[in-house]
Structure 1
């Protein structure tokens, strides 16, 4: 998929307008949808949820707050899965998408972030105001609405709305720090790393388990004598009629 000047036809240039499109959500044409590559989640604002006449009982609890680019925190009404169609027949895609429903004022009805763009395998062009996505027999597309985009953008500037959201990391989702432990006393080369948040009992059991299974560690190249060809074999696709040329030897550090 690529974009050219033909894809920019209809867009008034030059411009810095956001990419605002229309999608069919639960059978309704839904306008004022911001395509935001910077947002890690898909957002539906509560007024849009109500205008679609969706049953509130479809909302599932979602306890992680949203954090905006400016650090503002918003708690959610819940998460809902909705049927979304992008494009026009016959070049369209239908997907079930999860939306986080937010109760705060917005000039937009919906924000589509990276998660949806990745599911569509879509490419976006803010210059062309266009979204393209692959389908079985070609490429579908949806054009942005430049008039609505400017209306929404002016409203956003007037009230300083935030529309780039990410889910706040839970403590258990963060990367755990590791520490090196010496498995063979006096041999500093034979070390491995374990988590620093383990309880003393779990740490002791894990350390003992690792010491009892030292034979599975490869501390040097000599500890890896080879793999049976019945398991895996590497072959070079060479022309037997060509003269071999020896290249200079490449040496890799043990690490």
Structure 2
């Protein structure tokens, strides 16, 4: 018989978090060779999103993009036309997974969204209650620990964000 590590969460995994909470799971990942903070782990989404600010800060150019011809719906219900997509290595602890990101030019308080396909490729299990992501690397369980502080900063940024308003002249010209 072979001993296999079992990924599970316990009360001990909550140590260091303020309970109860409804904070998003925000982690730091190494994307394209850089440590990137404010990455949201979204278990309910299938799209891996990178926002244009991060894309530019990583030093990537428009010509690095591959065409992506489907529109997306943002959190505020508006259609968003992606700039394209790009495949980049994502490192979580010791494990590296290649991810196809959809590049979006829209406001978000976070830099990227990692979705179910990423968690599946990593072989990970996430818990928003415990604010952790656990995955196997060899015969060891590694974990990413989320930050409540960062999650709350992002929430405040989202609440206080004032969208750009079109002037009435430019709105009339677009009709």
The normalised TM-score by structure 1 is 0.59
TM-fit CA distance, 1:24 = 0.3
1:63 maps to: 69
The structure, 1 or 2, with the larger RCO (C-alpha pairs under 8 Å, 6+ apart) is 2
**Residue 94 in 1 paired to residue 100 in 2?**
no
Question: Which of 115, 118, 132 pairs up with 2:117?
Answer: 115
Q: Does 1:29 align with 2:29?
A: no
Deviation at 1:5?
A: 1.4
Q: Quick one: distance in 1 between partners of 2:49 and 2:67?
A: 15
Partner of 1:219: none
TM-superposed CA distance for 1:71, in Å, is 3.5
Q: CA RMSD in A?
A: 1.6
SS in 1 for 2:83: strand
Q: Where does 1:45-84 land on structure 2 (aligned, <5 Å)?
A: 45-68=51-74, 71-84=77-90
**Total equivalences in the alignment:** 157
Change (3 A) 1:154 1:69: closer
Choose which of 19, 26, 32 in structure 2 pairs with 1:20.
26
Tell me the CA shift for residue 132 of structure 1: 0.5
- Give the Cα separation in 1 of the matches to 2:62 and 2:18: 40
Select which of 132, 135, 138 maps to 2:134: 132
TM (norm. structure 2) is 0.84
More strand as a share of residues: 2
Deviation of 1:117 after TM superposition, in Å, equals 1.1
Q: In 2, Cα distance between the equivalents of 1:148 and 1:127?
A: 16
The Cα offsets for residues 159-199 of structure 1, whole Å up to 9 and x where unpaired, read as: 499xxxxxxxxxxxxxxxxxxxxxxxxxxxxxxxxxxxxxx
Cα pair distance change 1:135/1:58, threshold 3 Å: same
Cα shift at 1:121: 1.8
